[in-house]
């Protein structure tokens, strides 16, 4: 849950409403005034009297920034918090800002005993309240929501706020999910599938086309126009009729891994050719899709339309081939890393299933680099901080790109951890030791060795001896010591082939 941030003038009920909200929602109640007193070791009255308002506002700003870094809190703010733009921006990042209102007479009645507040120690406190309310009104209007607390039971006010926040939280969550889903969906479609040398089509569960790559358009679209939004039956059907294609699609939707459908299709200029469509389910948020990858085949001896299981390797090969086309150097690196990693995993005897997961993860581990600016990847000099930050995004980007391919979900934890360090100083999670999956620790060792023994834009390859010395120095820091020792022994005894098989 995002924070609930209560702003408004003193006497509008921020404290009593905030504590009631915290109790009702079982969340932590935080008062910025209490934290300021705790931080300074003085009462607010003494801060104003001894150090002045500027010092108070400085402390207030520091407190606001600190509490805005967490969520799930009920935050009761001082009356002047909203006057500072930085405070507002920080509080809004993680919270719903709710302004509580009350009329001047109610505020005066509620604050009559607040002798510690300097603004009430005046000849006409009501007039002072009215003047300050008018001055602060434009600032208070910047809040997300407004609730009048002049009258009404406290619990009625609390329930009203909870209802507002619940609706807003649902909308906020949907907005974030929609943004994230669109981002990774676009990464996969445009960065991977668009450049494939094979025709690729993605449909929704009803068979409506949501994506067709350039190769697909070249093969099957004889007239100008976009196939997106059309039903795939209009393009796939050739003498079989809608019913059989619908039956095939229904069967495909029930699959959990790759499958295949062989059938004649209508190509451009009304030519009919036989294609084998290797397909796999995709998951985009809460919605299900089907990816079709076309391969031309001989039609001779073929009878009927059959949906049957297919090897997942077709889809993996297509994804890797797209990477190879975009970043040939990255693809070559991944092939060598895969070879080293699999040999090491076999020596460590981690099991056939885990070795296969590692093989796929190693092949795809740097796929996120096709999104990184080529100028950064090919830079001959040392990367600056901003450029290195961009490079550090590639494990997350790679995982996001293939996340929709449901049968590959088991390799994602390996892919995303291939730059985690044994001592916990890696990225993106900063986990350490055995927290890092063993497949990822193996992949890291293979990745480092390949990187050291290959030419890079910024340096020539190290010799085998130099590379092994560097890896020995990295034991217990970047690299798992035991796995590294095993790998070094394998290299020294000739059990690691340097040539791509």
> End-to-end distance of the chain based on CA atoms, in angstroms?
52
Rounded distance between C-alpha atoms, residue 479 and residue 444, angstroms = 7
Q: Is residue 191 part of a domain?
A: no
Q: Is residue 431 part of a domain?
A: yes
167 shares its domain with 225: no
Q: For 37-165, where are the E strands, in sequence order?
A: 73-76, 95-101, 145-148
- % of the chain exceeding 90 in pLDDT: 33
Name, in order, each residue with C-beta under 8 angstroms of 198's C-beta and a sequence gap of 6 or more: 215, 293, 294, 295, 318
Give the residue, 330 or 402, on which the prediction is more confident. Answer: 402
Q: pLDDT for 111-121, tens place per residue? A: 766 555 555 66
Q: Is residue 398 part of a domain?
A: yes
Q: pLDDT for 450-485, tens place per residue? A: 999 988 877 899 999 999 999 999 999 999 999 999
391 shares its domain with 297: no
Q: Is residue 237 part of a domain?
A: yes
Rounded distance between C-alpha atoms, residue 266 and residue 247, angstroms = 19
Mean pLDDT within 375-390:
84
Q: Is residue 497 part of a domain?
A: no
H-helix or E-strand spanning residue 344: helix 328-348
| pLDDT score of 425 more than 90 | yes
Give the residue, 501 or 185, on which the prediction is more confident. Answer: 185
* Alpha carbon 179 to chain centroid, angstroms: 10
CATH number of residue 45's parent domain: 3.40.50.300
Q: Is residue 499 part of a domain?
A: no
Q: Is residue 189 part of a domain?
A: no
pTM of the full predicted structure? 0.61
Rounded distance between C-alpha atoms, residue 88 and residue 82, angstroms = 6
| pLDDT score of 250 more than 70 | no
| pLDDT score of 272 more than 50 | yes
Rounded distance between C-alpha atoms, residue 152 and residue 166, angstroms = 21
- % of the chain exceeding 70 in pLDDT: 83
Which of 189-203, 247-261, 315-329 bottoms out in mean pLDDT, i.e. has the lowest? 247-261
Rounded distance between C-alpha atoms, residue 457 and residue 380, angstroms = 5
Q: Can you say whether residue 418 is alpha, beta or left, with left for phi > 0 and alpha for psi between -120 and 50 degrees?
A: alpha
304 shares its domain with 237: yes
152 shares its domain with 202: no
Q: pLDDT category, 253, cuts 50, 70, 90?
A: low
Q: Which residues pair with 265 in a beta bridge?
A: 273
Q: Is 273 helix (H, G, I), strand (E, B) or coil?
A: strand
Q: pLDDT category, 315, cuts 50, 70, 90?
A: confident
CB 4 within 8 A of CB 165: yes
267 shares its domain with 414: no
**Considering 252, 278, 310, which residue would you say is the last residue of a domain?**
310
Q: What is the mean pLDDT of the chain?
A: 83
Q: Which residues pair with 405 in a beta bridge?
A: 282
CB 174 within 8 A of CB 193: no
Q: pLDDT for 170-228, tens place per residue? A: 665 555 555 555 666 777 787 778 888 888 888 887 778 888 888 888 877 655 556 77
109: nearest Cα among 121, 126, 123: 126
- Looking at residue 79, its pLDDT comes to 84
- Looking at residue 177, its pLDDT comes to 52
How many domains, the chain?
3
- Looking at residue 280, its pLDDT comes to 86
Q: pLDDT for 400-411, tens place per residue? A: 888 888 889 899
Q: Which residues pair with 97 in a beta bridge?
A: 5
Which of 161-170, 197-206, 236-245, 356-365 bottoms out in mean pLDDT, i.e. has the lowest? 236-245
User: What are the counts of helices (DSSP H) followed by strands (DSSP E) for the chain?
Assistant: 21, 11
Q: Is residue 498 part of a domain?
A: no
**Considering 176, 205, 226, which residue would you say is the last residue of a domain?**
176
137 shares its domain with 221: no
Domain of residue 458, residue span: 327-492
- Looking at residue 282, its pLDDT comes to 85
324: nearest Cα among 262, 367, 365, 290: 367
CATH number of residue 433's parent domain: 1.10.3210.10
- Looking at residue 256, its pLDDT comes to 65
* Alpha carbon 308 to chain centroid, angstroms: 34
Q: Which residues pair with 38 in a beta bridge?
A: none
* Alpha carbon 388 to chain centroid, angstroms: 19
Give ∠ CA 234-237-240 in degrees, rounded to 5: 140
Q: Which residues pair with 202 in a beta bridge?
A: 211, 291
Rounded distance between C-alpha atoms, residue 91 and residue 333, angstroms = 45
**Alpha helix ranges (H) inside 141-285:** 154-186, 214-220, 233-236, 241-253
Q: pLDDT category, 240, cuts 50, 70, 90?
A: very low
410 shares its domain with 368: yes
50 shares its domain with 167: yes
216 shares its domain with 287: yes
Q: pLDDT for 66-121, tens place per residue? A: 999 888 899 999 888 988 889 998 998 888 999 998 888 888 888 766 555 555 66
CB 252 within 8 A of CB 259: yes
Q: pLDDT category, 438, cuts 50, 70, 90?
A: very high
H-helix or E-strand spanning residue 276: strand 272-284
CATH number of residue 283's parent domain: 3.30.450.20
**Considering 127, 145, 176, which residue would you say is the last residue of a domain?**
176
């Amino acid at each position: 849950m995002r924070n609930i941030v209560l702003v408004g003038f003193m006497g509008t009920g921020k404290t009593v409403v905030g504590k009631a909200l915290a109790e009702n929602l079982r969340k932590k109640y935080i008062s910025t005034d209490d934290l300021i007193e705790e931080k300074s070791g003085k009462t607010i009255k003494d801060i104003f009297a001894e150090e002045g308002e500027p010092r108070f506002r400085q402390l207030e700003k520091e407190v606001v920034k600190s509490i805005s870094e967490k969520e799930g809190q009920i935050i009761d703010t001082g009356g002047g918090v909203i006057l500072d733009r930085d405070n507002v921006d920080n509080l809004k990042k993680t919270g719903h800002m709710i302004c509580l209102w009350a009329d001047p007479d109610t505020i005066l009645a509620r604050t009559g005993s607040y002798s510690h507040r300097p603004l009430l120690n005046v000849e006409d406190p009501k007039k002072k309240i009215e003047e300050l309310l008018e001055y602060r009104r434009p600032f208070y209007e910047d809040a997300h929501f407004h609730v009048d607390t002049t009258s009404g039971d406290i619990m009625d006010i609390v329930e009203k706020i909870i209802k507002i926040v619940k609706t807003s939280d649902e909308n906020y969550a949907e907005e974030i999910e929609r943004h994230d889903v669109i981002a990774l969906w676009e990464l996969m479609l445009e960065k991977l599938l668009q450049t494939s040398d094979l025709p690729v089509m993605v449909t929704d569960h009803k068979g409506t086309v949501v994506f067709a790559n350039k190769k697909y358009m070249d093969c099957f679209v004889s007239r100008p126009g976009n196939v997106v939004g059309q039903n795939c039956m209009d393009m796939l059907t050739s003498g079989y009729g809608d019913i059989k294609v619908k039956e095939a699609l229904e069967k495909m939707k029930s699959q959990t891994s790759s499958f295949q459908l062989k059938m004649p299709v209508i190509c451009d200029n009304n030519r009919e050719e036989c294609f084998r469509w290797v397909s796999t389910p995709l998951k985009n948020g809460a919605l299900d899709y089907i990816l079709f990858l076309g391969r031309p085949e001989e039609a001779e001896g073929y009878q009927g339309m059959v949906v049957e299981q297919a090897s997942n390797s077709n889809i993996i090969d297509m994804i890797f081939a797209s990477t190879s086309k975009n970043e040939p150097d990255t693809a070559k690196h991944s092939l060598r890393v895969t070879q080293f990693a699999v040999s090491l995993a076999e020596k460590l005897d981690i099991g056939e299933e885990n070795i296969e997961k590692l093989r796929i993860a190693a092949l795809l581990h740097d796929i996120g680099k096709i999104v990184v600016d080529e100028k950064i990847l090919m830079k001959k000099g040392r990367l600056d901080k901003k450029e290195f930050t961009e490079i550090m995004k590639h494990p997350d980007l790679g995982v996001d790109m293939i996340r929709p391919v449901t049968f590959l979900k088991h390799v994602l934890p390996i892919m995303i951890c291939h730059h985690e360090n044994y001592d916990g100083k890696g990225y993106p999670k900063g986990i350490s030791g055995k927290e890092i999956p063993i497949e990822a620790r193996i992949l890291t060792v293979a990745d480092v060795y390949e990187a050291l023994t290959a030419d890079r834009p910024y340096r020539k390859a190290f010799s085998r001896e130099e590379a092994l010395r560097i890896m020995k120095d990295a034991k217990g820091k970047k690299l798992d010591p035991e796995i590294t020792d095993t790998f070094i022994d394998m290299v020294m005894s000739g059990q690691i082939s340097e040539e791509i098989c």
